[in-house]
């Protein structure tokens, strides 16, 4: 039986580009399929600020903060399997997926300078 695939980003239409919403859903669904939930990840950066009300700004990338070290290790081991068609770069603090639309950055947790965790439309966690 196939795991249930949620369409959180697609349903909320977080991005104008439907493919970008699909890519983000793919990240969240991979967590749900492997860990049973998506609590190890949170949306941050400029996209979170736009969801929080910032106007007149077009985000250049999508930043996810990986709060759990096991989730981060999961992505290190599987990101090329999850996104085989894209160029991927890793450094000490993040994994960057170059989608051709914008870069999706998976940041290793640790010190998080943003302090306010919020819910967008009572469904999507983000931090500003």
Does residue 2 form part of some domain? no
Does residue 118 form part of some domain? yes
How confident is the model over 72-111, as pLDDT tens digits?
A: 999 999 999 999 999 999 998 999 999 999 999 999 986 5
Long-range CB contact pairs, 9-16, < 8 A, 24+: 9/124, 12/120, 12/121, 12/123, 12/124, 14/47, 14/51, 14/120, 14/124
Does residue 3 form part of some domain? no
Report pLDDT for 46. Answer: 93
The Cα–Cα gap between 104 and 126 comes to 15
Domain of residue 33, residue span: 8-127
What total number of domains does the chain contain? 1
Does residue 51 form part of some domain? yes
Does residue 120 form part of some domain? yes
Tokens of 86: 């894209």
pLDDT band for position 56 (50/70/90)?
Answer: confident
Does residue 1 form part of some domain? no
pTM, two decimal places:
0.90
Does residue 33 form part of some domain? yes
What CATH number is attached to the domain comprising 75? Answer: 3.30.460
Regarding predicted confidence, which is higher, 61 or 113? 61
């Amino acid at each position: 039986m196939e795991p249930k695939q949620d369409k959180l980003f697609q349903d909320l239409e977080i991005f104008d580009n439907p493919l970008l919403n699909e890519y983000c859903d793919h990240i969240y669904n991979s967590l749900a399929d492997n860990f049973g939930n998506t609590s190890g990840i949170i949306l941050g950066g400029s996209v979170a600020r736009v969801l929080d009300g910032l106007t007149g700004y077009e985000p250049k990338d999508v930043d996810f903060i990986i709060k759990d070290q096991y989730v981060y290790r999961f992505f290190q081991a599987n990101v090329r399997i999850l996104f085989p068609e894209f160029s991927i770069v890793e450094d000490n603090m993040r994994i960057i997926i170059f989608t051709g639309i914008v870069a999706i950055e998976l940041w290793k947790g640790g010190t998080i300078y943003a302090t306010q965790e919020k819910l967008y439309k009572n469904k999507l966690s983000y931090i500003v």
